[in-house]
Amino acid sequence: MADFSEKILFVDDDANLLAGLRRLMGQKFSITTAEGGIEALGKSKTEGPFAVVVCDMRMPGMDGVEVLRRLQDSAPDTVRIMLTGNADQKTAVEAINSGQIFRFLNKPCSMAGLSEAVGAGIRHYRLVTGQRALLEGTLAGSVALMGEVLSLVAPESFEHSLRLRAWALQVGTHMGLDTMWDLELAASLARIGEISLPPEVLARNRSGQRLTATEEEMMVRVPETGAGLVRRIPRMETVAEAILYQGKWFNGDGVPQAGKSGTDIPVNARILHVLLALNDVSGGSLSRASFTALGRMNGRFDPAILNAAAASLSAMTSDEAAFSRMEVAGSGLLPGDHLEASLETDTGKLVLAAGQTITDALFMRLQNLHKMYTFREPIRIRRAVRQR
């Protein structure tokens, strides 16, 4: 039965042999050919991905071992089959060890034998790529579900996570990190442990109110709780570790209390530690004063990461001279105002957490709420100074 769902690449320096393979094997598989290693590597980039590559061993310029070794780096999922007339053991061992060869076939090879090997290679390719798709789909779905839970249970935490994610991508790009996906996920899920907190405890902590010893212990355990949740997802070990160590100081203080300090702390955790502190001192609106405040906290942050954050996030900083801090009544709030402290009802119910900017939609909502509830006043805000 013909199988044209995946593409097969045959590599040989013999044009007549390749023409014969196209004629005979093309009735059953989707065949592409390349005369030599250079052409094969080029077609892998421009016409791939290929499910299977069948490559001759003895070719001028670049032998089959080198071709398949390079393909292993550029197209790791492609199944590699070696075809050669040189059947000595040394060549076979070198080919298998250097190129991670799926099959080793000797010339002359019957069409039936070659067809069987290619068919087996296609099945192996489907198994590998299918497992990856399943894992990636499971991972993406699990992370999305966690984000949705956080947005429902702790909407302010979810808003902060979106801000942290944007900042983390800026900092990671500036630092030239080898991988960014784990930093992005760690920033997105850094506060996922807050779903375990009673809403009133989270609200009091955000508004700067004094917590009981029991409530303080709850807050301290947020990174550990979050790391435990994330660790249950496959392939998320590095993300979980970054979340666990997000509160660890560069000098070894902080939580968890035992273990790492300095550069032994995961780099993503050191980045999160800086960004979470920035979020706290700035209320989400970066300024030069935010970085100055962090610079005074000796021993707490990795100096290199603090410098990288200042350099990469400089375009997001606001000019303090362009804002005026004031206290207003609930009826005096305007779109664009930035909350310096949490907005609460007179009974202590949280309306908006500190650090949020009042959008047009929020302004309309607050107007309606103010008709029903009495806000605790005065409300501390930061407002843009109008230019004359």
Whether residue 335 has pLDDT greater than 50: yes
Per-residue pLDDT band for 65 (boundaries 50, 70, 90) equals confident
Q: Which residue has the higher pLDDT, 60 or 130?
A: 60
Band (pLDDT 50/70/90 cuts) for residue 83 is confident
Residue 172 is predicted with a pLDDT of 93
Q: How far apart are CA 376 and CA 59, in angstroms?
A: 82
pLDDT in tens, 91-109: 666 666 655 688 888 888 8
Number of C-beta neighbours around residue 166 at 10 A: 14
Out of 118-132, 233-247, 265-279, which region has the weakest mean confidence (pLDDT)? 118-132
Inform me whether the pLDDT recorded for 129 exceeds 70.
yes
pLDDT at 356 over 80: no
pLDDT digits (tens, 9 = 90+) for 361-383: 778 888 888 888 999 999 988 88
Beta strands per DSSP E along the chain: 3-11, 29-34, 52-56, 79-84, 103-106, 323-328, 338-339, 343-344, 350-352, 379-384
Helix ranges (DSSP H) in 176-212? 181-188, 199-206
In 266-364, beta strands by DSSP E: 323-328, 338-339, 343-344, 350-352
Query: Picking from 80-84, 121-125, 174-178, 245-249, which range would have the lowest pLDDT averaged per residue?
Result: 80-84
Average pLDDT of the segment spanning 246-267: 92
- E strand spans, 186-285: none
Q: Of 18, 20, 57, nearest to 37 (Cα)?
A: 57
At residue 134 the predicted structure's pLDDT band, cuts being 50, 70 and 90, is low
Give the pLDDT score at 357: 76
Sketch out the chain's domains with CATH numbers: 3-131 (3.40.50.2300), 155-318 (1.10.3210.10), 321-384 (no CATH)
153 — pLDDT class (breaks 50, 70, 90): confident
> How many percent of the chain have pLDDT more than 70?
89
Question: What per-residue confidence (pLDDT) applies to 388?
Answer: 44
Determine whether 8 is exposed, middle or buried from the number of CB atoms within 10 Å of its CB (0-12, 13-18, 19+).
buried
32 vs 384: which has the higher pLDDT: 32
pLDDT average, residue stretch 67-81:
88
Q: Would you place residue 3 in the very low, low, confident or very high pLDDT band (cuts 50, 70, 90)?
A: low
Label residue 210 by pLDDT band (50, 70, 90). confident
CA distance 243 to 222: 9
Confidence (pLDDT) at 64: 84
Q: How far is CA 215 from the centre of its chain?
A: 31
Residue 45 has pLDDT above 50, yes or no: yes
Q: Is 263 a residue whose pLDDT tops 80?
A: yes
Mean pLDDT of 54-81: 87
Cα–Cα distance, 173 to 338 (Å, whole number) = 29
Instruction: Please say whether the beta carbons of 18 and 31 come within 8 A.
Output: no
pLDDT at site 365: 83
Q: CB–CB of 353/304 below 8 Å?
A: no
Considering only 62-76, 117-131, 154-168, which range has the smallest mean pLDDT?
Answer: 154-168
Beta bridge partners of 3: 29
Predicted confidence at residue 299, as pLDDT, reads 93
Q: What's the predicted TM-score (pTM) here?
A: 0.57
Query: Closest by alpha carbon to 356, among 366, 371, 346, 348?
Result: 366
- Residue 1 pLDDT > 60, yes or no? no
Mean pLDDT to the nearest integer, 267-288: 88
